[in-house]
Amino acid sequence: MKLWNTTKPIAQIITKNGYGYQFQSGTTINHLLYMDDIKLYAKNKRDIDSLINLTSIYSKDIGMEHHRCAGQLGIPQANGNHEEAARRSATAKYLQRLRQVLKSQLNGKDKIQAINTYALPVIRYPAGIIPWPLEEIQATDIKTRNLLTMRGGFHPKSSVLRLYTKREEGGRGLGSVQNTVQEETTSLREYIKKMALNDPLLRECLRPTKEEEPEGLSWKDKPVQGMYHRQIEEVADIEKTHQWLTKAGLKGSTEALLTTHKNRP
């Protein structure tokens, strides 16, 4: 509340000066405020420079530092279009953390969990905000599997679908870059749709989007890779059958070999 009381006058001063960017509908935006991060908007460079100067003066008056650009989680933020740079930076950071995890002495399950909680969040942060070409997403997932294979964590003949299936369902539980981007994009889109009912500014953010393609067959439905599962499904307790994936604590290379063997009749 104290921070809000401190920064609220800045918002009032900016609004009173009449600067801002106007959408076709007539809605005007001149700033967005989140915690101590304020983003300024104007119709031309002269106005944006005036806004920056105005904000800088008030910031100094209340003892706050003023920076023209910032970085979050190592992802650059600045004036202009830096979407490609942000994607490259996020992907490089993700692969760096992935290599760190794969070099560790963690068992197979813990390595997968570490990738999901330590490496993938770097992708999740900008996902949904900047456009991410499908080719780049798929290339990063392929690179991930290649690195896993080099470290013995994924067998070349193993099922890719099973790698991304939950462990309780007989998979390895790895989160994919593609699913991460899709989840964040869908979540943000649904939030905007919900809030836009009462917010004209958010309505300006809505754009026609391509519907997500339905998921294909699961690994269990594959003719060869799912044969073992189909054979035991009616005669065995599936939950107990897959307990070794959640409780055994095997090395990643051992997990990779066993899941490959169980892919086949």
To the nearest 10 degrees (0 to 180), the angle between helices 134-150 and 177-195 is 140
CB of 62 closer than 8 Å to CB of 73: no
**pLDDT tens digits, one per residue of 24-58:** 777 778 777 655 567 788 888 888 888 888 777 76
**pLDDT tens digits, one per residue of 101-149:** 999 988 888 999 999 999 999 999 888 888 899 999 999 999 999 999 9
pTM of the model: 0.61
| Angle CA 76–78–79, to nearest 5 | 155
Distance of CA 242 to the CA centre of its chain: 29
Selection from 183, 186, 71, 192 nearest residue 120 by Cα? 183
